[in-house]
Chains A and B, each alone.
Chain A
Amino acid sequence: MNQATGTQGDIASRFERLLGADAVIGDPERLQKYSIDGQSPETVLLPNNAEQIAAALKVANEENWSVVPFGGGTRQHVGRSVEGVDVVLSTDRLNQIDAYDPGDLTISLQAGATVSRVTAECAHHRQLLPIESFPGSTIGGALATASSGPLRAGFGGLRDFCIGISFITADGLSGRGGGRVVKNVAGYDLMKLMIGSYGSLGVITSANFKLFPSPQQTLTCVCQFDTLAEAFKFRDWLLKSPLSPISAEYIGPEAAEYLKDNQPRDPDDWDPEARITNDKRVWQVAVRFAGSDRALARSRSELGSRVVQEINPNDEVDFWNRLATFEQRLSSRHHNPMVFQLEVPPAESENALTAAHESASEYNFVAAIVGRATLGSFVVGFIPLAIDPPAVTQFAGAASALRGRLSKDCSAIVLRCPREAKQHFDVWGSTPTDTALMQKVKRALDPKGILNRGRFLVV
């Protein structure tokens, strides 16, 4: 548990001397905004630059104070319950675009810059930074949580287009990998290590990205099927066809409801059973293409009669945004949902999704699923039934039931579940990668384990 030795007053005044009073929040009311999965921090720091972050981390490491890095705060619900929050380290003030060279298709960003601001700036130059995350999220947060969405099918994930990263280790060393050029093998690939490390190895301070030309136009076709098996037979056909969609999103019958309008309803006005029995059960795959008139015409003709609907070009952006924020939309409508990130070898998708439905119903949940059909990467929502809702231990039971049905190469990470349920199982689950080695990496950069204490897969 929390090994902190300081009291709130100690911690705050120590950092006030180090960073200046305006960079430290100690007022309990303002601290509320930074609560981590229900825990209010002792102190929040708003450093002005990477040097201040390094100085703050050195002190925290010496004092063995636990530190939680904080960007936009949109994914602080992920992970095990953190063991004490002495210091929240916010990247709020590191919010600049350091360099943007449209001619070179590269950009350098501070960690606290919001994804929406940066993508808007790129769009202004008809360029695309294909990071998908929740509204308010930051570049650093997107990197730390390996945030991705439907565009990953066409442009790859962050690991494929982040070309450089700077961070501060738990004990205050500045680390850097890569650089500002699109091809670079000088030194270890620290981008890969930091992406998806959930703030357990260091605090990301800036990063560089390769950009893509914005598609001049896109076409979204929705294909509809009567069974899960048919939907994935279509996916297999798509992979063998000469087509190269930028997104190919599976939408399960229970998920369609959450993608309909833009206004999430209040969970207390919501009756999930009514919806499920009223809807005709259809399985959908939404496919999005980019390119010239001829490219889109060819894509349309290859898909042929499988298409039941073409999304109106004016609605495309909203349509795909709703898919990218599915986890949030689902969570805002229900009390106590459990949401998985499911990563499976592509051909195991059908089995894995069947397993999800079976495991959900065994424990009084309904599974609502969307995801990247061609990649084998899914967001699986387990919605508690309103009548006879699952007990706290049944969350653990449902997660184990699903994991038990998956092969060794699969991961089923619980991104979201009630805090009380987290004590009964491991939200991270198993991984094909050697965890003893992960442990050594963690020790190398965070020897005392002060960063996100107890929260990540290895601690």
Chain B
Amino acid sequence: MFSFGIASKLRKIVGSDAVLDRPEDLMLYEYDGSLARGAPRYVAFPQSTQHVSEIVKLANREGLAIVPRGAGTGLSGGSIARKGGIILAFARMNRILEIDVPNLRAIVQPGVVNLDLSNALMPHGFYFAPDPSSQKACTIGGNVAENSGGPHTLALGVTVNHITGLEVVLPDGKITQLGGKASSAAGYDLTGFFVGSEGTLGIATAITVKITRLPEAVATLLAIYNDVQDAANTVVALTSEGITPAAIEMLDGWTLRAVEAAVHAGYPLDSAAVLLIELEGLREVVDEQAEIVSQLCRRSGAREVKRARDDQERQLLWKGRKTAFGAIGRISPSYYVQDGVIPRTRIPETLRKIEEVSKKYSLTIGNIFHAGDGNLHPLILFDARNEEETRRTLDAGREILEFCIGVGGSITGEHGVGMEKQDLMCTLFSDSEREVMHRLRKAFNPDSVLNPQKVLPGARTCREAVAPGHSSVEAPVLAGAEQR
């Protein structure tokens, strides 16, 4: 049988224990962290760059799509096998190939878990700066594909600012190199261009990252507010005063109560919002800045500012922030996370807008922000089994993102476009601007073998998106609403 033939060819490449093709095994790979869903025909676990190259060549011969996948924690459907085909799962390419302290670099395989790299660097006095909330599970390969951020990217930059070289398997199976250990190289910066391309240009099989020295001192402050607008104004004040903490996170009252119930991080249950502010650097500088920031928070209306006394208290505060999405999962059957970005001066009015949307659509919306970057994560609670509620949820999400675009912002700060926000690309970019991106994708991936129907919408999608009264949200997103 045809399909049996492909499975056995895959087994020949990667080994008999490294291919899944039975429907019950494939089910797990229909999802990522988004609402999207799509079933692959095969899942293969390559163990080397050579394996990846051979599988890609096989897919070309057989006319199958390839979708690379790290830990499947993505929030925009980037690793969903939208057109079936083969999922390349990188769980077995998880070795740290080299830690090169003199050059301030490490080379890792794509399946290395983000936090595992930082833990391995810690004895040397270094870490990997990008720290997505899913860092205990998500992989560096996935971080490269999505150009992932995290709370501490405020001062140190997102993934692309920490990548200098990539070994890449191209959509025709060719193994090639972009950049290396030097900070820059002659010619086009294809390394920088590749990061954040969501698996549509090639597959990274070895990643050269910058490593960052651990700070001498860290201070974590928790500023507590009775009014969410005061918290928002504090962020505006911090930015315009020129204070750049390592992180400024914001949780609104509803969210922090949900988190507190799950994690007991020590968040005040009666407050309207908290800011979690972290300062890093020389010991005396951190102490000095902690004092300045505390005063500024109080002047902006904080009723109390607490500083974590020790590392344990600090970790607990962060645990609350980083497991927030999971905590929401305890109280709602489903939730829909937005990833809009706005200029930081617009945070107060955007919060008011979200509240308005919440009332208009009769939905509970929790707010959890990378406030220092203006990167919002409104969490819309709903029940995916209720089709009408699901539709309302998607409409509410869309209205929030359209507002973000309207104030000069973006539809995604770190989660990626994937298949979830393709239709909004029609609003954000003109036909000509999308055509330029299409041309570049074609230069790398002419037959769309790699991650087809992602990031850039087809011409049809954009025509429908602008047609009045037509819901442009595509069917797979609706069908795939995840239940928790």
Contact = CB atoms under 8 A, between A and B. Distances in A.
B430 interface: yes
Contacts of A159: 160-161, 184, 189, 192
Using C-beta atoms within 8 Å of the partner chain, give the interface range for chain A: 35 or more
B288 to A, nearest CB: 6
B386 interface: no
Contacts of A186: 410-412, 417, 421, 425, 428-429
B27 interface: no
Interface string B380-393: 00000000000000
B147 interface: yes
A293 to B, nearest CB: 9
Interface stretch (A56-64, A217-225, A432-440): A432-440
B215 interface: yes
Nearest to A195: B189
B414 A411 contact: no
Given A187-B437, A188-B440, A292-B288, A433 B185 contact: yes
B436 A432 contact: no
Contacts of A346: 102-104, 183
Nearest to B105: A345
A74 B28 CA distance: 58
A173 B189 contact: no
A146 interface: yes
Contacts of A377: 183-184
A444 B416 contact: no
Contacts of A228: none
Interface string B432-457: 11111101111110000000000110
Contacts of B437: 175, 187-188, 190
Interface string A144-179: 001000000000110110000000010001111001
A292 to B, nearest CB: 6
Interface stretch (B47-55, B173-181, B247-255): B173-181
A408 interface: yes
16 contacts: A159-B161, A174-B433, A182-B344, A185-B158, A185-B413, A186-B425, A188-B437, A193-B440, A196-B188, A295-B285, A346-B183, A409-B181, A411-B185, A411-B186, A433-B188, A437-B444
Interface of B: 100, 102-105, 125, 146-147, 149, 153, 157-158, 160-161, 165, 170, 176-193, 195-197, 213, 215-216, 236, 239-244, 281-282, 284-285, 288, 341-345, 370, 373-375, 408-417, 421, 425, 428-430, 432-437, 439-444, 455-456
Interface of A: 101-106, 126-127, 146, 156-157, 159-160, 169, 173-176, 179-193, 195-197, 201, 212-214, 236, 239-240, 242-244, 291-292, 294-295, 298, 343-348, 375-377, 408-411, 413, 428-438, 440-441, 443-445, 457-458
Given A173-B436, A432-B179, 9 more contacts: A127-B242, A179-B410, A182-B374, A189-B160, A243-B282, A376-B183, A432-B182, A433-B191, A443-B443
